[in-house]
Chain A
Amino acid sequence: MARVKRLVLDVLKPHKPNTLEFARAIAASGEGCQVDIQVLEMDEQTETLQVMIEGDSLDFDQISSVIDENGASLHSIDEVSVVGK
């Protein structure tokens, strides 16, 4: 099965949890998962983020459920990097 090595996501999230806590929550979803977040836009109640996730084998469902749990919503998958077996 192909392994997902890199994802770039466009995410909208409330101010709480803050970006650092949000990044930690995503990073905790997989071993060796590296998360880089850039805040693109800040509104009164929300912020738009570009979330870059790198790892050996990323579990997209798990990442997606962490995003939902933290009250954020995934707008689009902007980049992917996948390696075949």
Chain B
Amino acid sequence: MELKQIKILLEISHSEEIMRRYFVVNGFDGALTMLGLLMGFYVSEYVDFTVVITTCLAAALALGMSGVSSAYISEAAERRRTLMELEKAMVTSLDESHHARATTWIPWLVALVNGIAPLLIGLIIISPIWIAHNGMLLALEPLPMAMIVALFIIFLLGVFLGRIGGTFWLWSGLQSLVVALMTVGLIYLLG
């Protein structure tokens, strides 16, 4: 499918906004899950990096799969219902239209974005541990370094939301950061 065609389908189905929302929501889920796991490993004191990488990778993959499947199922059902309503209003079949194509393709696109967000963010967060595991030196210990990356990504997601919503970017970034720090604090208390 051509890029122009995808753009038409996105416009017709108002999907850009939905995809943006899914990316941020599931990306936030992914970042916070990774942060929680890393903090759990950190308070457990000694943990083998191979275990950390495998666990985080498995969690990121699971979040990715969950994101793809849940978004596809809900979006496909929602799109089918919308198309049926439109066909009823038009009193004709829209099988050959962009609307029908959007009903087929947009759920896949939305699902992909919803799944890729936590997977990609998870991979970025664990990259310092992977780098250290492969013998490269980092400025900080790998676990705190990865946690800083997670906090930074969560802050950026907040900033992104602030810019979309037209609120002050620093304020929304800090709001997200507070949620992340509260999570870290709770896990620290548990440990």
Q: How far is the CB of A49 from chain B (nearest CB, A)?
A: 13
In the bound assembly, the distance between CA atoms of A69 and B94 in angstroms comes to 8
Please tell me if the beta carbons of B89 and A17 are within 8 angstroms of each other in the complex: no
Residue of B nearest to A21 (CB): B11
Residue of B nearest to A45 (CB): B89
For this complex, into which size category does the number of interface residues on chain B fall?
10 to 19
Contact with B97, one of A44, A45, A69 (Cβ below 8 angstroms): A69
User: Given the known A-B contacts A16-B11, A16-B12, A16-B14, are A46 and B97 also in contact in the complex, defined by CB atoms under 8 Å?
Assistant: no
CA distance A14 to B99 in the complex (A): 10
Per DSSP, chain B at the interface is: helix
**A65 nearest in chain B by CB position:** B96
Q: Please, which residues of chain B bring their CB within 8 A of the CB of A12?
A: 90
B 88-105 binary contact with A (CB < 8 Å = 1; else 0): 011110101111000000
Q: Which one of B8, B89, B97 contacts A68 once the chains associate, using CB atoms below 8 Å? A: B97
Q: Does B86 contact A (CB under 8 A)?
A: yes
Shortest A7–chain B CB gap in Å is 20
Given contacts A17-B11, A17-B12, contact A69 B90 (CB under 8 A): no
**B85 at the A/B interface (Cβ < 8 Å)?**
yes
A32 within 8 A of B: no
Question: B94 to chain A: which residues have CB within 8 Å?
Answer: 71
Q: Is the C-beta of A73 less than 8 angstroms from some C-beta in chain B?
A: yes
Is the pair A71, B86 in contact by a Cβ cutoff of 8 Å? yes
Judge if A70 is at the interface, Cβ distance under 8 Å: yes
* In the complex, residue of chain B having the shortest beta-carbon distance to the beta carbon of A43: B89
Task: Report the bound CA distance from A46 to B91 in whole Å.
Answer: 11
Q: How far is the CA of A21 from the CA of B4 in the complex (A)?
A: 13
Query: In the complex, A63→B94 CA distance in Å?
Result: 16
In the complex, the answer to whether B11 meets A44 with C-beta atoms within 8 Å is no
- A70–B89 touching, CB < 8 Å: no
Other than the given A71-B86, A73-B90, 13 more pairs (CB < 8 A) read A12-B90, A14-B99, A16-B12, A16-B13, A16-B99, A17-B98, A43-B89, A68-B96, A68-B97, A69-B98, A71-B94, A73-B91, A73-B92
Interface residues of A (CB under 8 A from B): 12, 14, 16-17, 21, 43-46, 68-71, 73
